[in-house]
């Protein structure tokens, strides 16, 4: 049994050495300039990137100071709800990047609309909304859903 294992193992080693020597020899061979394979491999044009931006070329040992700026296409940002927990008044602050229809709703835990706080067209910039909360609402957790165009942001609040 030991002899069979040794002979099989030695054949595997011999084949592996032959393959590695063949690969090493093939890597050192230079193709002639008139060969079409080397022409297509070495002279092909780089493909266009599907991204909107291009990165600067990377050179080893060189630190680049070029900053990559990615355009911000978000319509709605910096949504803040304060104070939290809410007692009688809710303050909401958000930033719009362009004109849009804005709807602000209070939603319960099950996703049912409790009340619409705001719904109209708004100019770009920072917006602040102050609303009194009615005493008819039960104490507990609610969500504020701010919808601007096709974007929405949801913030959790607690009502005391």
For residues 124-129, average pLDDT: 90
Considering the entire predicted model, what is its pTM? 0.53
Name the nearest CA neighbour of 131 among 94, 76, 81, 96: 81
Same domain flag for 150 and 84: yes
The answer, yes or no, to whether residue 10 has pLDDT greater than 60, is yes
Q: What is the number of structural domains in the chain? A: 2
Look over the chain and give the mean of its residue pLDDT values, rounded to a whole number. Answer: 78
Answer yes or no: do 36 and 80 share one domain: no
The yes-or-no verdict on residue 36 having pLDDT over 70 is: no
Under the banding of pLDDT at 50, 70 and 90, the label for residue 25 is low
Q: What is the pLDDT of residues 44-60, one digit of tens each?
A: 555 665 666 666 666 66
Co-location of 87 and 133 in the same domain: yes
CATH of the domain at 105: 2.60.40.1930
Structural domain containing residue 81: 76-159
pLDDT of residue 120: 92
Q: What is the DSSP string of the chain?
A: -HHHHHHHHHHHHHHHHHHHHHHHHHHHPPPPTT-HHHHHHHSPPPPPPSSSS-PPPP-TT----PPP------SEEEEEEESSSBSSEEEEEEEESS-EEEEEEEE-TTS-EEEEEEEEEE-SEEEEEEEEPPTTSPSEEEEEEEEETTEEEEEEEEE-
Strands 140-148 and 125-132, bridge-based pairing:
unpaired
Same domain? For 38 and 112 the reply is: no
* 21 in any annotated domain: yes
Q: Is residue 7 pLDDT above 90, yes or no?
A: no
Q: Do 85 and 11 belong together in one domain?
A: no
For Cα atoms 88, 83, 146, give the angle at the middle one, nearest 5 degrees: 90
How confident is the model over 71-83, as a mean pLDDT?
82
The label of the residue with tokens 């910039």 reads: 125
Residue 57 covered by a domain? no
23-27, 35-39, 129-133: the lowest-pLDDT one: 35-39
Does 115 reside within a domain? yes
Give residue-wise pLDDT tens across range 107-118. Answer: 998 889 998 989
Look at residue 15 in the predicted model and tell me its pLDDT.
87
Residues 91 and 143 in one domain: yes
């Amino acid at each position: 049994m030991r002899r069979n294992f040794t002979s099989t193992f030695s054949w595997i080693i011999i084949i592996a050495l032959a393959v590695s020597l063949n690969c090493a020899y093939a890597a050192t061979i230079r193709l002639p300039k008139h060969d079409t394979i080397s022409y297509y491999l070495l002279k092909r044009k780089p493909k266009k990137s599907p991204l909107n931006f291009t990165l600067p070329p990377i050179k080893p040992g060189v630190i680049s100071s070029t900053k990559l700026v990615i355009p911000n296409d978000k319509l709605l940002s910096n949504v803040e709800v304060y104070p939290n927990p809410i007692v009688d008044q809710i303050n909401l602050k958000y930033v719009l990047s362009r004109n849009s229809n804005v709807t602000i709703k209070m939603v319960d835990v099950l996703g049912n609309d409790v009340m619409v706080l705001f719904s109209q067209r708004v100019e770009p910039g920072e917006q602040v909304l102050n609303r009194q909360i009615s005493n008819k609402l039960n104490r507990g957790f609610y969500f504020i859903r701010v919808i601007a165009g096709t974007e929405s942001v949801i913030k959790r609040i607690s009502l005391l």
